């Protein structure tokens, strides 16, 4: 008894689909894993002394950004990836948000840049000009910096210690302003 031609075709297609799926899984198993991780910190911009106009020429440092060790990062631990296994790190977003007072805007901030530093080496990975003119209204406005997708932060992430430094220009605000910085990284490394 011979199988119907349609049945043979279906069986052949099922086998071909099975082989394609197995080959695809084999390729995925050998490819680098990609995941995102986020680092976040806060800083307080001091208030302007009463009755004076003072330029903001140094943005306050963020202590949680001063000595980052990605072997201690929870997303790296969850993926069982060490910083030495990383093959590429790219910033996908960088945001700055006013936490308090909640009725404060970014009228005091003209420009902002973010750089990664390890040892004596640093690379700028995000920046934004004209922030005060963006019209970002309270409550708790957020500004996104423009990220440079060509910057690979792998050498910084793999270093014994990495820092993220924010530099801003503008004027000191009338009141003390607490801000939150969030950097989202796409990491490639390890195997699936």
Structural domains of the chain, ranges and CATH numbers in brackets: 31-187 (2.60.120)
d(CA 151, CA 124): 8
- Express as a percent the part of the chain with pLDDT over 90: 72
Q: How confident is the model at residue 26 (pLDDT cuts 50, 70, 90)?
A: very low
H helices within 31-138, ranges in order?
Answer: 74-79
Residue 27 has pLDDT above 70, yes or no: no
Helix, strand, or coil (residue 160): coil
Residue 149: predicted pLDDT: 85
Lowest mean pLDDT among 15-19, 132-136, 143-147, 172-176: 15-19
- Mean local confidence (pLDDT), 29-55: 84
d(CA 144, CA 99): 15
Residue 62 has pLDDT above 70, yes or no: yes
Residue 23 has pLDDT above 60, yes or no: no
Q: How confident is the model at residue 49 (pLDDT cuts 50, 70, 90)?
A: confident
Please report where in the chains the tokens 């995102």 appear, as a residue: 36
Query: To 10 degrees, the CA torsion angle through 6, 9, 14, 17?
Result: -140
d(CA 147, CA 149): 6
Q: What is the per-residue pLDDT across 90-113, written as a single tens digit (0 to 9) for each?
A: 999 999 999 999 999 999 999 999
- Mean local confidence (pLDDT), 61-75: 94
| pTM of the predicted model as reported, rounded to 2 decimal places | 0.80
Element (H, E) at 15: helix 5-30
The arrangement of strands across the sheet holding 177-191 comes to 32-45, 177-191, 86-100, 142-144
Helices (H) and strands (E) in the chain, counts: 3, 9
Residues with Cβ within 8 Å of residue 50, at least 6 apart in sequence: none
Q: Which tokens belong to 140?
A: 């708790």
- Mean local confidence (pLDDT), 44-54: 85
3-state helix, strand, coil in the chain (%, to 5): 25, 40, 35
Helix, strand, or coil (residue 191): strand
12 compared with 126, residue with greater pLDDT: 126
Q: How confident is the model at residue 57 (pLDDT cuts 50, 70, 90)?
A: confident
Q: Which residues of 42-71 are buried (b: 16+ CB within 10 A; e: fewer)?
A: bbebeebeeeeeeebeebbebeebeebebe
């Amino acid at each position: 008894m011979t199988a119907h031609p349609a049945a043979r075709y279906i069986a052949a297609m099922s086998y071909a689909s099975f082989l394609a799926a197995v080959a695809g899984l084999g390729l995925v198993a050998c490819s680098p894993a990609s995941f995102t991780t986020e680092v976040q910190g806060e800083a307080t911009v001091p208030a302007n002394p009463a009755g004076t106009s003072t330029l903001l020429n140094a943005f306050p440092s963020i202590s949680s950004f001063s000595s980052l060790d990605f072997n201690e990062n929870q997303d790296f631990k969850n993926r069982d990836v060490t910083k030495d296994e990383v093959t590429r790190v790219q910033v996908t977003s960088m945001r700055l948000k006013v936490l308090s007072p909640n009725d404060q805007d970014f009228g005091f901030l003209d420009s902002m840049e973010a750089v990664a530093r390890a040892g004596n080496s640093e690379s700028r990975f995000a920046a934004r000009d004209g922030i005060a003119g963006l019209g970002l209204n309270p409550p708790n406005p957020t500004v996104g910096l423009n990220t440079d997708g060509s910057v690979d932060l792998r050498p910084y992430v793999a270093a014994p210690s990495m820092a993220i430094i924010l530099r801003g220009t503008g004027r000191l605000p009338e009141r003390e302003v607490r801000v939150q910085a969030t950097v989202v990284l796409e990491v490639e490394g390890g195997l699936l």
